[in-house]
Chains A and B, each alone.
Chain A
Amino acid sequence: MVRLITHNLLACHVKGCTSNNFPLQFKDVQVELREAEFNPDFLRGFIPRLEWGALVDAARQLGDTSLPAEPPEMLDDDFLQKLHHVLLEVHIEEGAMICPNCNHVYPISNGIPNMASAYHQPIHNVVN
């Protein structure tokens, strides 16, 4: 859990933190690899949603350098297998994600990131 597909879709949402708030940086992460079902159609359909550079960087941070810097024109099986592994089979179980802009820390425990912690600071300014 906290697969790289998820990491690629989450941005910091602390009130007022609206630029340079993605991708979140990993800190002290504990990684596990777990097999997932390979579905080439799903992958092809999802590529347009990905921030490719962020994905490649996140994978490199975790020691996986299998992805090219740009998505290839030909989405052959070999490439899709690599993408499959990076997107769906790398799980971050413990650690944290940190906003590159406001440094807010999102803790991950037992595979579940707590994205609700973003609210505690500024919320007092907003309501009341």
Chain B
Amino acid sequence: MKDGNGGRPLVQLTAKDFKSDQEVRWCPGCGDYAILAAVQGFMPELGIARERIVFISGIGCAARFPYYMQTYGMHSIHGRAPAIATGLSSSRPDLSVWVVTGDGDALSIGGNHLIHVLRRNVNLKILLFNNQIYGLTKGQYSPTSPLGTHNKTTPFGSLDYPFNPVSLALGAEATFVARSVDTDRAHLTEILRRVAEHKGSAFVEIYQNCNVYNDGAFDAVREQENRILLQHGEPIRFGGEDGTVERGVVVRPGGGVEIVDVASVGEDALLRHDESAEDPSLAFALSRLSHTPVGPTPLGIFRAVERPVYDTLMAEQIEVTKRELGEGDLKKLLHAGDTWAIS
């Protein structure tokens, strides 16, 4: 956590220091509260002064987030937060810039910005609150709602096949891709820690319960037996407590991965998770284990690799050019090329 504080000494703050004076206005019981608490609880760990932290959001319930953080913030327009944050982050590499978005914001209206920010590897921390619904507009299906969802605009069931946000981010070659759950504070905090450390775009899908319009959408992953916790270097296995069968993940002959009973294949056959693999194929295969989280679902860090950061490259080009050509001289530039004098 060296970057983001411009080489300044670490600052001692508490969660309270990150609470703004604004009354939080989400519906009582909304998963957003838990995420806000986790973020506010984690922020002091960063050791970065509040004025160097910026939260930028788009539109949606999640997008209210910046108002509640005692940092700099911008509640912008639908889907555009990654674009706005790109301008800020690349022109101010001294800041720690976070984007808070939702499934409609990031994957529908703002889908183009999201994939491009990930491919460029702009130094942004992107938290996508996925509740599989449009909450703010009162309950229409979203690009992550399961096929056949019945709600206000799909009384006969939705026809669109949903996005899996982790698959999408991996497809866009994001350098850091993770998934967590709103109420699992310990897990979420651990992921946030890694997000903050990552240089470049860090993308986290957070399953977030909308108790008003889509209650219980992620209940399955709150069950221990469905939580495939990815741990770097460890065999991928889950369940086995409380008399459930222990299961694990193996590479399928011919490609992809599948879930098997550990007892039937033996421990040695299990896939060891490698978040740092250059090739995103296995990470992608893992993301396909649960297209929507109704059964066993991987949580944790799918991918964490290094690639040059857009902001840094941009700053370097300027530095190198200035070193080679010298600081720009306006007078000289205006007089460049063919000139003639009239007296």
Chain A partners chain B: no
Residues on A lying within 8 angstroms of B by beta carbon are: none
Residues on B lying within 8 angstroms of A by beta carbon are: none
